[in-house]
Amino acid sequence: MQVNTEALESLQSEALTGTFYRYIRTRYADKPLSTNGAFVNGGRYNVAGSFAALYLGFNLETCEAEVSQGILAGVPLKRGAFTVWEYEASLSFVVRLDDPAIQAQIGVTDKDITISGNHWTASQIGE
C-alpha cells in the first residue's frame, strides 16, 4: 500500500493526556524509557537504524496482543518474561491513525497498519 505522503503533512493532530502501558522484556526493564531496542531492531513504524520510537499501548490488552500475536506466534511465554510499566503522559501532537477519516486522507486501512509481519505501510507513515 502506497501512502499518500503529501496528505500526511497536513493531518490534524490533537493533544492527548492519560495512562499508557508498555511490556518490556524483563532483561531491559530497568530502562523503561529506552528506545534503543526499537532503534536497533526497528518496529512497526520505524525502520531499523533510521530513527528511534517508544511504543506504548492504551491498555494492557493491546500490549499483550502486540507481543503475543506477532513473531511470538502465541507460544506460551516464560513466567516473568515481561515487566509491565505504566506511564502518565501528556502528548502535544498526536495523529490518530485509528480515526477512519484520517486513514481515508492518507489512503490506508486498519488492516494495512496492523497486519503482522508486514510493516511496509506503517513504516512509510513513520518515516
Q: How many Å is the Cα radius of gyration of the chain?
A: 15
Print burial letters for 57-88: b (CB count within 10 Å at least 16), e (below 16): beeeeebbebbbeeeeeeeeeeeeebeeeeee
Minimum CB distance to another protein, residue 35 (Å) = 9
Looking at the Cβ atoms of 67 and 97, the one nearer to another protein is 67
Distance CA 18, CA 87 (A): 8
Q: Is 50 one of the binding residues for another protein (CB under 8 A)? A: no
* Complex with another protein: residue 37 or 107, whichever CB lies closer: 37
120 binds another protein (CB under 8 A): no
The span from the CA of 89 to the CA of 116, in Å, is 27
Nearest distance, CB of residue 23 and another protein, angstroms? 5
Binder of another protein out of 76, 92, 93, 101 (CB under 8 A): 76
Q: Which residues bind another protein (CB under 8 A)?
A: 23-28, 34, 36-38, 40-43, 48, 67, 69-78, 81-82, 116-117
